[in-house]
C-alpha cells in the first residue's frame, strides 16, 4: 500500500532470526492508518495531496496526486473556506494551529479540524489537517439550540393569538425605540381595547371570546407591516409599535383596523359577533428615552375613546 509519503514507504528489514523488524516509519504509518480521524497533507501552494491516511481513503478514495479540493469536496477550484491564510504569519512562516468546526459539503458530516502549516522533507511548506468526525455531538448541539430557540419564541408569543406577548413587546419595542432615537426617525404607537368584551364572554361563553381574540390576531398579522411590532399585552388589550411612522400615519392605520373589525364579523357556532375597539395613538417625543411614557399617553388616549362612546380613535401626540 502506497502511503504517498517517502518516509512512510520504507520496507521492513529482516533480522537474523527471520522476523521482520518494524521500522519507525512503518510504526507511524500503522498509527496514522488506525486513527479514527482524517489525516492528510497537501502542498501549501499547489494544494496537491501528498498523503491521506486509511480513514480518509476509505471515505474519499485514492488521492493519486489530486488536489485536496478535488478529493475532499469534489470541487473544480480551491475551496472558498480554505484556511491556509490563517496558518502563516505576515512573513509566511508557520503560525499556531487553527481549530474550527465545519460541515463537509460532500458527505454532509460535521468535523472538528485542526489545521497547521509545517515544513516538509524537501523544505517546502505543507498543510497538515487532522479532522475528527463530530456529527453526533454537533447534531445534539444543534437540536438543543433549536429547542432553546423554540422555548424562547414560545416565551415571547401569545398562545391564543400567535402575536407577541407583553414581554416581547417591551423587549423588541425598546430595541426599536433605541434605533429610532439613533436614526432620528419617527415612532408611533397604537393601543386598543376591545369594547364590551366581558359581554361577549357572558353572553356567548369564553370560547366565543377566545375566537374573537384569535380573529383580532389574524387581522393584525395580515395588516401590520413586518417592521412593526404587534402584541397582545393584556386580556383584550393590544398594542402596535409602528417604525418610521408619525401620529397621523398611526391614526390612519387605526381607522383602517377599526373599519376591518366592523366589516369582518366573527362567526362562532350560530352566533355572529361584530367586535369594535377603542383606540389610542401617541408618537415619540424628542426628549423621550423609554417606552413606558409613550405607552402611557396612548393608554390615556384609548380611555378617552372609551369615555367618548367607544369604537373610535383618539390621539395624544
DSSP 149-215: HHHHHHHTB-TTTSSB-HHHHHHHHHHHHHHHHHHT--EEEEEEEETTHHHHHHHH-HHHHHHHHHH
DSSP 257-305: HHHHHHHSPEEETTEEE---EEEEEEE--TT--SHHHHHHHHHHHHHHH
Rounded Cα gap, residues 254 and 4, in angstroms: 74
Place of cell 362612546: 309
Q: Choose the catalytic residue: 211, 236, 237, 288.
A: 236
- Judged on CB neighbours under 10 Å (0-12, 13-18, 19+), 201 is middle
Q: Is 171 a catalytic residue?
A: no
Which residues are designated catalytic?
236
Amino acid at each position: 500500500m502506497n502511503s504517498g509519503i517517502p518516509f512512510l514507504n520504507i520496507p521492513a528489514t529482516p533480522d537474523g532470526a527471520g522476523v521482520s523488524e518494524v521500522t519507525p516509519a512503518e510504526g507511524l504509518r500503522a498509527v496514522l492508518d488506525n486513527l479514527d480521524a482524517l489525516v492528510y497533507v497537501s502542498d501549501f501552494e499547489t494544494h496537491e495531496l501528498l498523503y491521506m491516511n486509511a480513514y480518509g481513503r476509505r471515505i474519499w478514495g485514492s488521492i493519486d496526486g489530486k488536489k485536496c479540493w478535488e478529493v475532499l469536496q469534489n470541487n473544480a477550484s480551491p475551496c472558498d473556506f480554505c484556511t491556509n491564510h490563517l496558518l502563516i504569519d505576515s512573513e509566511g512562516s508557520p503560525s499556531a494551529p487553527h481549530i474550527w468546526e465545519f460541515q463537509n459539503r460532500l458527505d454532509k458530516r460535521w468535523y472538528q479540524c485542526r489545521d497547521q502549516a509545517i515544513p516538509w522533507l524537501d523544505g517546502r511548506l505543507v498543510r497538515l489537517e487532522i479532522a475528527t468526525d463530530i456529527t453526533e455531538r454537533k447534531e445534539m448541539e444543534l437540536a438543543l439550540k433549536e429547542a432553546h430557540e423554540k422555548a424562547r419564541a414560545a416565551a415571547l408569543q401569545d398562545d391564543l393569538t400567535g402575536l407577541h406577548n407583553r414581554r416581547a413587546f417591551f423587549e423588541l419595542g425598546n430595541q426599536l425605540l433605541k434605533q429610532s432615537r439613533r436614526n432620528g426617525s419617527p415612532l408611533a404607537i397604537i393601543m386598543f381595547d376591545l369594547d364590551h368584551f366581558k359581554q361577549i364572554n357572558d353572553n356567548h361563553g369564553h370560547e366565543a371570546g377566545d375566537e374573537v381574540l384569535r380573529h383580532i390576531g389574524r387581522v393584525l398579522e395580515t395588516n401590520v407591516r413586518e417592521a412593526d411590532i404587534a402584541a397582545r399585552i393584556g386580556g383584550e388589550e393590544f398594542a402596535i409599535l409602528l417604525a418610521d411612522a408619525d401620529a397621523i400615519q398611526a391614526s390612519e392605520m387605526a381607522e383602517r383596523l377599526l373599519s376591518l373589525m366592523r366589516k369582518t364579523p366573527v362567526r362562532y357556532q350560530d352566533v355572529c359577533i361584530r367586535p369594535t375597539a377603542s383606540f389610542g395613538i401617541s408618537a415619540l417625543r424628542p426628549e423621550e428615552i423609554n417606552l413606558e411614557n409613550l405607552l402611557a399617553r396612548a393608554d390615556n388616549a384609548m380611555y378617552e375613546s372609551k369615555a367618548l362612546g367607544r369604537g373610535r380613535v383618539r390621539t395624544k401626540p
